[in-house]
Amino acid sequence: MKVYDEMSEYYDLIYGDQTDLEFYLREAKNARGSVLEVACGTGRILLKLLEVGIDAYGLDFSQKMLDVLKQKAKAKNLDAKILQANMLDFSFDKKFKLIILPYRSFLHLETHDERKKALLNFKKHLEEGGRLILHIYNPSKEDLEMTNEFHCFEAEDLVSADGLKYHVDWHLHYEPSKRLAHYKVVLKLQHNEFIYNMDIYLTPIKEIGELLKECGYKNIRSYCGFDYYPFNGNCKEVLWIAEN
């Protein structure tokens, strides 16, 4: 998506949440083998995996995001093995014990056929018994009522690691007929304002589970959040974990 090229310089300011980091570190360590992060962006998770000695690889569609990742890896003296590619048809000459898609990146896929193609490609790159982890968003009733125009649903005053103060506003416009969530992110930084627009397709949780089964995955489970609580329909952050 073009928007990630546009926001690459400030991505880490906007998406600095570390809520999921310990979960992925734990899963990667338990995998006891190579790990692939799809849509690795600027390396928020991938670089942490490398820092603790995990044989981790990454891919992303945005070259500019990967350029930022390379700069960060160089500063940390880390060897980042990354590929600029689409999740639909990327190809590595190896298989992985674990493939992860953090922060709802799977929901950028527009159609059932695209989602199926991606899941089959992930499966092709998993070792026998390897696992896939998808982070999915389960919209609330309030989210689904934000129709007709953009609605501001969150405003944050934040401070960067080096003490820089900034502000981020989050807006949502939902199109029910397309199950399409339009997000607008407004970053206010040092008297400048940057606006970024992106879309995700709010695929029903049940549909993801059915698609994983259709693609031949086994031991398919869904959880609320990052503490392994079984999915009960009431949480926004959902993890699907499935085995090859």
Enumerate the domain spans of the chain.
2-138+204-243, 141-200
The pTM for the full model equals: 0.96
For the stretch 69-99, pLDDT in tens is 999 999 999 999 999 999 999 999 999 999 9
For the stretch 160-212, pLDDT in tens is 888 999 999 999 999 999 999 999 999 999 899 999 999 999 999 999 999 99
pLDDT-above-70 percentage for the chain: 100
Tell me what the mean pLDDT of segment 214-229 comes to.
97
Distance CA 219, CA 128 (A): 13
Which CATH number does 2-138+204-243 carry? Answer: 3.40.50.150
pLDDT band at 137 (very low <50, low <70, confident <90, very high): very high
User: Going along the chain, which residue ranges are E strands?
Assistant: 35-38, 56-60, 81-84, 96-101, 126-137, 151-159, 165-175, 180-189, 192-201, 218-224, 229-230, 237-243
- State residue 152's pLDDT score: 97
Q: 24 pLDDT exceeds 80?
A: yes
Q: 1 pLDDT exceeds 80?
A: no
Mean pLDDT (the chain, rounded)? 96
Altogether, the residues listed in the chain come to a count of 244
Tell me what the mean pLDDT of segment 99-106 comes to.
96
- State residue 216's pLDDT score: 98
Neighbours of 196 (CB within 10 A): 16
- State residue 44's pLDDT score: 95
For the stretch 105-133, pLDDT in tens is 999 999 999 999 999 999 999 999 999 99
Which of 8-22, 37-51, 93-107 shows the lowest per-residue confidence on average (mean pLDDT)?
Answer: 8-22
- State residue 208's pLDDT score: 96
Q: 149 pLDDT exceeds 80?
A: yes
Distance CA 48, CA 22 (A): 10
Tell me what the mean pLDDT of segment 136-162 comes to.
94
- State residue 234's pLDDT score: 87
